[in-house]
Structure 1
Amino acid sequence: MRVLLVTMGSRGDVEPFAALGLELARAGHEPLLAAPRRLTEDAAARGLPVAPLDDGVFALQEQVAGKGARASITAARSALPLLRRWLDDLATLRDSGADVVVYAPKTLGAPHLADLLGVPSIAALPIPLFTPTVRFPSPLSPVPPPRFLNRASWGLAGVIEAPYRRMVRSWRSEVLGLTGPTTGLAERVARDGVLHAWSPHLLPAPDDWPAELAPTGFWSLPPNGRWAPSEALDRFLDAGEPPVYVGFGSMVVKNPEAFTDAVLDGLHRSGRRAVLATGWGALRPSRVPETVHVLDQAPHSLLLPRTSVAVHHGGVGTVAAALRAGVPQVIRPFLGDQPFWARRVHELGIGAPALTGKVTADRFAAAIDDAAGRADAARELGARVGEEDGVATAVTRIERTAES
């Protein structure tokens, strides 16, 4: 079976698809991973066939990271032509010979490519997005609505594709030569199915979902062996008690210097050492005490098991990495589904309450202390998550889809 895997976004969006591709290959299938060019190198080095696609829109994101609202507005005006270039590049995969297409909905054009090929398509999501339930609200809800509005809140998913609907419709007609109405993402997912790529230990399927929508478990890419801690980092990690990890990935704040000062002062008040991952700029230390080691980024799967608490933004990829590492969490959510996962981590007893609003040194220190007291629960849940084989479950479901 030839399986075309299409994803876009950050490294956290590509790595689960690479993990799935490697499992498909182990099962005797022929995967092809189509992803932004700059993020295909690792998958190719692992022996996974790749189709590097245009990544201009991601270069634009990097250019404006941390430069404020005006730069973001200017970038938004430039995004549509770049996304059209992405779609045009995606159309070159019409000769892939795929028997099934597995796609991230943010790829916009992948399910339409499956229509052109005349093969089944199945969405893959690391968060619940298109399947309503009365049991909890859409993760996109800014604040939890009254319970009776839970199902209604799932209509927010339609907002995702609204800015691109006209562009996708014209591309489908002009480039793919397809006629007829353009099916929206929510309707397509309901019709064709979805792989929910998170752990049921983090969020079990609600009882009003059919069995085939149950989460598979995380799609975890094993370390590639090409990263090792620097001598300075290794020395720091071995020099005392496991440090706190603090990193907010691609998130940015209005005043990174003040935010970083609050973090550093909070760490000092808690009496704990820390590793700070500066990422895209939420953390910008002007002073670095001896109890803190600063780096740009590091693979969570290798670093987090050597820490005591993980402080992060609440992206599900980082939530998953901390879960697997068995370390308690402090989440300072910024946007999207992050508040949802922050609430869930706290509900499970493996993390402090979400750090919303202004982060002060006292609040930061208190959150770390709170999380540290949940270490046993985090370790126990991490062991259960480690027993899952999410990619194997996903492969079985893809095989069923291709055969039906």
Structure 2
Amino acid sequence: MTKVSIQTLGSFGDVMPFVSVAHYLKEMGADVSILSPSDYSGAIEARGIKAKAVEDFTLAAWDKEAEQRGTLKNPLNFFRDWDEMVAPYVDRTVEASLKAAEGADIILANSICAPAQMVAEYYDIPFILNAHQPAISATRVYPCAMLWKPGMPSFLHKAGYAMVWGAQRAMEKALSGHRRKLGLRAPHNLGASRGKPRTDMVRLTTVSPFLIPDAPSDWQPYDVLKPYPSLVRGESAVLPPGVEAFLQAGEPPVFIGLGSMDVEAYASDLRVILDTITGRGRRAILSAGLAKKLDGPVGDQHFIVGQVPHDLIFPRCSAILHHGGAGTLDTALRAGVPQIVMPRHLDQFWHADALWKSGVAPKLLKRGQVAHADIETALAFALSAEARAFAKQVAEPLLTRNGAKEIAEFTLSRIRSGRQSAR
């Protein structure tokens, strides 16, 4: 049986797209597992996929410390905190990656799990480096989403990819001792934007076709574009009775959620947002994590939820106010609902800007600086009949694509092409 090792050390939003891909790989007869932070092992196994984890590593604890240090605010801070926030986890991550990929025919991983390519090289199997935003394949057409900020000129596009390359080279150096232990002497290329990767590796960018419809003409032959792997709905997935009753009791609400990694949300922002929604006579659904950050009551006309299937609840909302994560925006696009984006870091700013320029969302909201007038303007746009009609129009062609299935098929095709090359 074909064995596929998927490896990621990112947030819940990074893990769940791979769960969707794993669903189709399993459906196609593959033996598939996902290496992730232990925080998500239960969620992975609940969907019938084998879960692997890095020993003594939880993303919740790491992200809390990173927030306190400001590690992810910019690349300089990331390198500044390298010895405390990255280096201590290298050994155990390499060990977990080796164990997870033992006997595998291919590894599909994102760059967060940096040892994955070295492990693929050690086992002499094909490797797919995956990013859910333009970040690993340099192009002049789109900026490197992980480093872009509003106002950044287009002539700096390539510089952003070069900085990602620099971060990957730093990880390569951190892995040099492990390479020697594994007997890997050849120069190691982590698939960065500079330098040609090994022949059995490809760089796979998976983005909603609405944001990037076609592969840039200046990409290399080993750069591949596929649709974002949208969530796969469970056969028995339903909304909790309380949520269903709330939805049926009035007009479609505004959904407010700021992502699984959002350990710091400004209570003042949330209060302004809720008060403005209330003032317009509208209702809201608020994630439980955000509700806990409010100083006062949420209000009887609003509803607090835990984890709910976004693909079930979004189509029944009037607008989606979120952090700009790739998975949330993809689900909202496919639901045909206008979006309001309040980014926090990394690719979220590029997503917010791209949605604004495409007409699906108003201009992004700045955290810690949200005023009543800002929310009024954003809601006026999102709740307009024109925005709703355009969002539905955008959704129609997206629903004809199945990114997760396409990626699963592509992964298996890479195994076959690798075997043919060996012969």
Q: Using structure 2 for the length normalisation, give the TM-score.
A: 0.85
Deviation at 1:327, TM superposition (A): 0.7
AA matched with 2:165: G
* Match of residue 305 from structure 1: 315
Change (3 A) 1:276 1:163: farther
5 Å-filtered alignment, 1:80-119, equals: 80-93=87-100, 96-119=102-125
Could you tell which deviates more after superposition, 351-360 or 77-86? 77-86
Which of 201, 205, 212 is matched with 1:196 structurally? 205
Q: Secondary structure at the match of 1:18?
A: helix
- CA RMSD of superposed structures (Å): 2.9
Change (3 A) 1:173 1:269: farther
Change (3 A) 1:345 1:78: closer
Cα separation, 1, equivalents of 2:381 and 2:196: 40
Which of 276, 284, 290 is matched with 2:300 structurally? 290
Cα separation, 2, equivalents of 1:296 and 1:167: 39
Cα separation, 2, equivalents of 1:281 and 1:67: 21
* Match of residue 61 from structure 1: 62
Deviation at 1:241, TM superposition (A): 0.5
AA matched with 2:89: L
Q: Secondary structure at the match of 2:256?
A: strand
Deviation at 1:285, TM superposition (A): 5.0
Deviation at 1:248, TM superposition (A): 0.7
Q: Secondary structure at the match of 1:340?
A: helix
Which of 198, 204, 218 is matched with 1:208 structurally? 218
* Match of residue 368 from structure 1: 379
Deviation at 1:315, TM superposition (A): 1.0
Change (3 A) 1:206 1:11: same
% same residue: 26
AA matched with 1:196: T
5 Å-filtered alignment, 1:127-142, equals: 127-139=133-145, 140-142=147-149
Where in structure 2 are there 5+ consecutive unaligned residues? 419-423
Could you tell which deviates more after superposition, 259-268 or 101-110? 259-268
Change (3 A) 1:120 1:171: same
Contact 1:245 1:309 in 2 (8 A): yes
Deviation at 1:344, TM superposition (A): 0.9
Contact 1:277 1:283 in 2 (8 A): no
Deviation at 1:331, TM superposition (A): 0.4
Could you tell which deviates more after superposition, 279-288 or 235-244? 279-288
Q: Using structure 1 for the length normalisation, give the TM-score.
A: 0.88
The Cα offsets for residues 24-72 of structure 1, whole Å up to 9 and x where unpaired, read as: 22223332322233323333333333334335141423654876859x9
Deviation at 1:295, TM superposition (A): 2.7
Change (3 A) 1:184 1:43: closer
Deviation at 1:316, TM superposition (A): 0.9
AA matched with 1:200: P
Contact 2:291 2:304 in 1 (8 A): no
Deviation at 1:296, TM superposition (A): 3.8
5 Å-filtered alignment, 1:2-17, equals: 2-17=3-18
Contact 1:53 1:89 in 2 (8 A): yes
* Match of residue 377 from structure 1: 390
Could you tell which deviates more after superposition, 350-359 or 180-189? 180-189
Q: Secondary structure at the match of 1:33?
A: strand
Which of 127, 130, 135 is matched with 1:124 structurally? 130
Change (3 A) 1:293 1:47: closer
Where in structure 1 are there 5+ consecutive unaligned residues? none
Contact 1:66 1:280 in 2 (8 A): no
Deviation at 1:253, TM superposition (A): 4.1
